[in-house]
Amino acid sequence: CYIIKFVASLMPLKSKNMSSYGARSGVAAGYMMKMPPLADKRAAAEALCSTCSGPIYSQGLNTFKVPMAMFEVNRAKVVQSMLEQDPSAKGLILLEGGKQTTRYDTDHEPVFRQESYFHYLFGASQYSDCFGTLSLPDGEATLFVPTYGVDVATVCGASPDFEFVKVELGLENVHDVVDLKAFVEREMKRLDETEVESSCSDGLNNEEKKGGGEPATKSKLYLLKGLNTDSGNFATPASFEGIDKFRDVRDDESLFRSISESRVFKSSAEIDIMRYTNWVSSMAHVEVMRAAKPGMMEYQLESLFQHHTYTHGGCRHMSYTCICACGPSANILHYGHAGRPNSRLLEEGMIALLDMGAEYKCYASDITCSFPISGSFTDDQKSIYEAVLAAQIKVMAMLKPGVSWLDMHREAEREILKGLIGCGVL
């Protein structure tokens, strides 16, 4: 039942990676704003990332410190990609952040988690119901956060202070979300007028410009829309009252290509966070292994994992629903969801297949491991485990730029099949 699922063995991380987690420090003072051109902004942001200077995010105590300049690098990458697609591109990139929801008809609010594309550009993991813009071609960032009346503030606290948010997130501008419509209208007009003025200063008269004073290329409103091929769902374009005014200059295609491709290639700062989340999750898996024994319930393993990653790693969110599949439960690939809520009793001789990973600042880990609940493998269990381990070692040895994912997949299958033939299953 555990043949189908690949096993990710827990491997020690290099000590040089671990030593940096408690040593990072940085303060908001001195963070440099508005540094055109784009290449200079990116270079400055990368320098801040390398020393973890400027504004930082942390859950306190010894949790990882994330330089907010990392998101400035992300913004510069996306703007640069947009300009590589179309060197004449100009206008506004507009994204809508995640919304705080309630549970059905109640006033209970599930723990908020930011929409991933929005977070990639603005790093505003703690603010719901926001919008954000990037101007093209200069990449200036503006965040729009909601403010509340006294009724909401009495229950949920005061509205965000714009200047505080600006410094906290390392952004050029922060405004009230009610100003979004006027801002978009003003900026789109300004960008068009800037091109006309620039052309006139270069010696071109109005007759040489299209429409006699009209910009050669109208500013566009770039919205996020595209298919997530894993889920089959689409990213939802930003929407606000009055957006139909821009339907003739709306572009729903270019941004998704650029931002999706940019997210594939991680910066050094992003890789550091991913190392941290995987380290925290790996240590939590070890703690669960130590505690697991016959007579426990699957959900207790889930609870221990969540406790360790949050208590010791500051990871409030899981990357996905925890899969604590023991014995026959492992026949269900996405066990642990509705209808299968990690509810089996652990018995002597079972194998536990645990697929759990925490996330920190919206950067995820994903770790699967298998082990015997009783503490030792039977001969048959050992044969299966070692076949999958051999496949993993083979793939890791092949893994490098230029190697096809499909080729690695086939090699993994060959190693597993060898093991299954060796133990008599095939």
Could you report the per-residue pLDDT of 50-88, keeping only the tens digit for each? Answer: 999 999 999 999 999 999 999 999 999 999 999 999 999
- The mean per-residue pLDDT over the stretch 122-144 comes to 97
CA nearest neighbour of 345 among 328, 331, 367, 357: 328
How high does pLDDT run on average in the chain?
89
Amino acid making up residue 245: K
**CA distance to 93, 154, 263, 276, 370, per residue, from 357 (Å):** 32, 36, 20, 12, 14
Q: Which residue has the higher pLDDT, 421 or 16?
A: 421
Question: What length is written for the chain?
Answer: 426
Q: What is the pLDDT of residue 205?
A: 53
Q: Over 70: is that where the pLDDT of 296 sits?
A: yes
- The mean per-residue pLDDT over the stretch 158-176 comes to 97
**Judging by beta carbons within 10 Å of its beta carbon (0-12, 13-18, 19+), is residue 65 exposed, middle or buried?**
buried
Q: What is the pLDDT of residue 35?
A: 41
Q: Over 80: is that where the pLDDT of 12 sits?
A: no
Q: What is the pLDDT of residue 31?
A: 31
Q: Over 60: is that where the pLDDT of 371 sits?
A: yes
End-to-end CA distance of the chain: 14
Q: What is the pLDDT of residue 266?
A: 97
Q: What is the pLDDT of residue 94?
A: 98
Which of 133-142, 185-194, 205-214, 267-276 has the lowest average pLDDT? 205-214
DSSP code at position 345: B
- 406: helix, strand or coil: helix
Cβ atoms of 280 and 13 closer than 8 Å: no
Sign, Cα dihedral of 307, 311, 314, 316: positive
Torsion of CA 27, 28, 31, 34, to 10 degrees: 160
Q: What is the pLDDT of residue 100?
A: 96
Chain centroid to Cα 214, Å, comes to: 40
- The mean per-residue pLDDT over the stretch 342-349 comes to 97
pLDDT band at 10 (very low <50, low <70, confident <90, very high): very low
Q: Over 80: is that where the pLDDT of 195 sits?
A: no
Q: What is the pLDDT of residue 1?
A: 37
Q: What is the pLDDT of residue 196?
A: 55
- The mean per-residue pLDDT over the stretch 230-246 comes to 95
Q: Over 90: is that where the pLDDT of 210 sits?
A: no
Q: What are phi and psi of 318, to 5 degrees?
A: -90, 150
Which of 10-24, 33-47, 295-309, 361-375 has the lowest average pLDDT? 10-24
Q: What is the pLDDT of residue 215?
A: 67
Cβ atoms of 125 and 85 closer than 8 Å: no
Q: What is the pLDDT of residue 385?
A: 96
Q: Which long-range contacts does 418-421 make (Cβ < 8 Å, 24+ apart)?
A: 418/387, 418/390, 419/383, 419/384, 419/386, 419/387, 419/388, 419/390, 419/391, 420/3, 420/384, 420/387
Percentage, residues of the chain above pLDDT 70: 86
Which structure tokens are listed for 319? 């990357």
Cβ atoms of 32 and 287 closer than 8 Å: no
Q: Over 80: is that where the pLDDT of 15 sits?
A: no
**pLDDT tens string 260-289:** 999 999 999 999 999 999 999 999 999 999
Give a three-class secondary structure readout of 179-197. Answer: HHHHHHHHHHHHHHHHHHH
Which DSSP string do the residues of 258-302 spell out, in sequence order?
HHHHHHHS--HHHHHHHHHHHHHHHHHHHHHHHH--TT-BHHHHH
Cβ atoms of 163 and 145 closer than 8 Å: no
Q: Over 90: is that where the pLDDT of 162 sits?
A: yes
Given the structure tokens 């509340």, which residue do they identify?
148
Q: Over 70: is that where the pLDDT of 203 sits?
A: no
Q: Over 80: is that where the pLDDT of 214 sits?
A: no
> What is d(CA 96, CA 174) in angstroms, rounded to the nearest whole number?
14
CA nearest neighbour of 180 among 103, 126, 129, 240: 240
> What is d(CA 416, CA 425) in angstroms, rounded to the nearest whole number?
11
Looking at the whole model, is its pTM more than 0.85? yes
